[in-house]
Amino acid sequence: MKYSCFSNSILRMSCYLKKLCCTTFGVLLFMCLASAQTVDLETLGRGKAFQLGGGISSNGVFYNANLESAREPFTYFLQGNLNLSFYQFSMPISYSYSNQGEQLNYNLPFNLNRLSLHPKYKWIQAHVGSVAMSFSPYTLNGHQFTGGGVELTPKGPWKVSAMGGRFLRATEFDGDPLTIPAFQRMGYGVKVGYEQDRYSAGIIVFYAKDDINSIGTVPEEQELTAKENMVLSLEGTYKIGENLQLHTVYATSGVTQDLRAVSLDEWKGNMAGLLLKERASTEYFDAIRAGLDYRFETSVLGLAYERIAPGYQTFGAYFFNNDFENITLNSTTNLFDKKVNLGFSVGYQRDDLKNQKERAMNRMVGSINAAYNASERLAISGSYSNFTTFTNSRVDQFEIINDDNLLDDAAEVINYRQLSQNANMNINYVLAQKQEVQHNINLNYALADVSNEENGVVRVGNASTFHNGNISYTLGLPNRNMNLTTAFNGTLNTIGTENTTTWGPTVNVNKQFLENTLNTNLGASYNTSNSATALTQVTNLRANLNYVFKEKHNFHLNIIQLFRSISNNNQNELTITFGHSYSF
């Protein structure tokens, strides 16, 4: 009886907080829009009262090929960013429109075309229309929604952000396999932060729910159910010493996978469950990230820990990595009067945190980067990374005992390790840098190596290596506003027991005319690729024109003609991109 009363109290508190979240958002948005219509009397008569700035652009892409392609023959894009200001009040407006959506013959639960307004007055910033906001990586993180949001950053310790809108529009299933059916999903969020010189603290609440009545019946094979999500996150930083700082983030998420599931009286959730109605299909997840940063002179040393539970998700983000634990140590430093910059990172990562997978993986991660500015003419940089992944199979011993196929040892592989190495070296040397002529040479080499080791042995065919080399020479004629670049590229790719070589030259000429208002670029490249199964030859011709008219208009034209021959099968593609942009 006592527990039932407690449960009812929790549900009442949950409803209250949800209403409070929506009410807070409405009040803050009203305050923002109301304040944005007022004018600071102290600024009247100072400077220009009204200003209009920004830019608009229109682009078109024409495509033609001698082979069938799913690519449309013509696509256009209209984009713009306008900024209207009246004293301390500003109204940025952005839009993006294309005919890509019209070319689709199936339905999607989101819009490809966007229009958004971002009114701002002093420390009040609003977002209205088709917009995106970010509170943190574990709550609301860049997901597009149609609605409104506000950010309040006054002088003082308090910072507040709030948002509300539609994340997914109701989309009926029309029988087309490409159609993505969806319930209408509305979401709301509030972030409150308190900042001082020595410490800071913040709390984030994000809530999203599908409208179960927004669409009709959906076939069971679509596996679509109405869902609900509540995320509660706490974050903070603390300055332990003058150069030592601690930062932490803890987030909990509750997801109801099917709103049709029966309600439960017993609460088994985490912190987010205090604000979410418990159902039989409700699942709970958590994530934590903590780190220490120590700064001394020109160096930084950091230690970080991150753990994300299996299945963690938030409806405020499009994609989320989960089921891993990661520990990293990293550092950067400058040496020899900042001529040498060094950085390294080493870490350990594992998955299968709840021992639910057949194969558990863990890996060691290490990387080092170095840059050396030897002189004004010579610069050298390099990097190396080594990723080692371990996989341990948990095999049922009775499956091995009862295995009657002595030639099938796939299930008996106990230890599996993947070794991955990447290295890069770049050398840039200025041979001459004079008023009349400039000479520059650049060398670059890259290596990528991956091998699979089983029980300590790398078998034949279980390794691949990729070598790429490039050398380029640039002749600059400043007095003629002209640059000539020649380059030679070569790659050697070994996959298993097969080798593929690709090599070819490139030449590029850049010239400016009409007092540098017309920039032209002509280029040509050829490469041939030879493998055990095919011989491929590719010729690429490029032309670029860019003209600036009265410093505000920019016209551009880009033409690419591609000829490809694969084992005497000839293909050609023509792509023309043209457009105009105007800034004011």
Structure tokens at 108: 């999607």
pTM of the full predicted structure?
0.75
DSSP state of 273: G
Measured CA to CA in angstroms, residue 231 lies from 143, 191, 208, 281, 296 at distances of: 15, 12, 9, 16, 37
Report the sign of the C-alpha dihedral through residues 564, 569, 570, 573, in that order.
negative
299-320 pLDDT, tens per residue? 889 999 999 999 999 999 988 7
Q: What is the mean pLDDT of residues 75-87?
A: 87
The β-bridge relationship of strands 74-86 and 50-65 is antiparallel
Q: For position 380, what pLDDT does the model report?
A: 97
pLDDT digits (tens, 9 = 90+) for 557-568: 999 999 999 877
pLDDT in tens, 500-518: 899 999 999 999 999 999 9
Give me 516's structure tokens. Answer: 């540098």
The strand pairing partners of 433, in sequence order, are 438
Q: What is the DSSP string of 20-59?
A: HHHHHHHHHHHHHHHHHT---GGGTTSS-SEEEEEEEEEE
Alpha helices in 37-159 (DSSP H): 100-103
Q: How many CB atoms lie within 10 A of CB 206?
A: 30
Angle at 376 between CA 373 and CA 381, to 5 degrees: 25
Could you read off the pLDDT of 91-143 as tens digits, one per residue? 888 888 888 766 566 677 777 788 899 999 999 999 999 999 999 999 999 99
Q: Which two tokens stand for residue 561?
A: 């003609």
* Beta bridge pairs of residue 346: 329, 366
CA distance 209 to 226: 8
* Domain residue ranges of the chain, discontinuous segments joined by +: 1-42+104-322
pLDDT above 90 for 468: yes
β-pair partners for 225: none
Q: How far apart are CA 200 and CA 143, in angstroms?
A: 26
CB atoms within 10 A of CB 286: 19
Give 277 or 387, the one with higher predicted confidence: 277
Whole-angstrom CA distances from 297 to 241, 333, 340, 406 are: 15, 9, 15, 63
**Residue 300 has which token pair?**
């930084």
pLDDT over 70 at 281, yes or no = yes
Predicted local confidence at residue 41, as pLDDT = 39
Torsions phi, psi for 232 (to 5 deg): -130, 125
The confidence band for 85, taking pLDDT boundaries of 50, 70 and 90, is: confident
How many percent of the chain have pLDDT more than 70? 83
Q: How far is CA 567 from CA 271, 532, 536, in A?
A: 62, 12, 6
